[in-house]
Amino acid sequence: MRSHKNHQRIFLVLALVLGMSALFAADYTGEQVMWEVYNRDSGDTMRANLVMTLTNARGSVRERSIVQYRMDKEGVESKLMFFLSPNDVRNTSFLSLSYEDGRSDAQYIYLPALKRVKRIASDSKNDSFMGSDFTYD
């Protein structure tokens, strides 16, 4: 009986290895890889430490440290970003709410110097995000 279970395990491992090698042997285009990444299951929650590097036209570099949290719950994807450094953006926070039911996304930014939360208007979604080449959209 024990020998039979060992054979089953060996067969299962072999099947997994062969299946994985076939997957890696496939020729993917760059666009296919991007779609696979975009459509992967990323779970219900996520935490990430990020560094935003900004380089201006003269080559001067500035870095911003960020911690980001994401949660998917009941058809709403919530992303919350906290800027940790440098001091001029420290404690600035950004919240993005995306709805699966087709409602318009909602975005808010907390500006510590003003001690208030500001909603990002839909006509401002193409504006620069925190001095970067990114937009709110």
Residues 37-62 have a mean pLDDT of: 86
Query: At 38, is the pLDDT very low, low, confident or very high (cuts 50, 70, 90)?
Result: confident
The reply to whether omega before 112 is within 30° of 0 (cis) is no
The neighbouring-strand residues paired with 81 are: 68, 94
Q: Are residues 67 and 96 in the same domain?
A: yes
Question: Both 29 and 63 in a single domain?
Answer: no
Tokens of 131: 């001095």
Q: Is 54 a member of any domain?
A: yes
Tell me whether residue 97 is in a domain.
yes
Residue, of 64 and 15, whose pLDDT is higher: 64
Q: What is the pTM of this model?
A: 0.61
Check: CB of residue 109 under 8 Å from CB of residue 94: yes
Residues 94, 118: Cα–Cα separation, whole Å = 10
Range of the domain at 100: 45-124
Is residue 116 within 8 A of residue 110, CB to CB? The reply is yes
Q: What is the pLDDT of residue 43?
A: 79
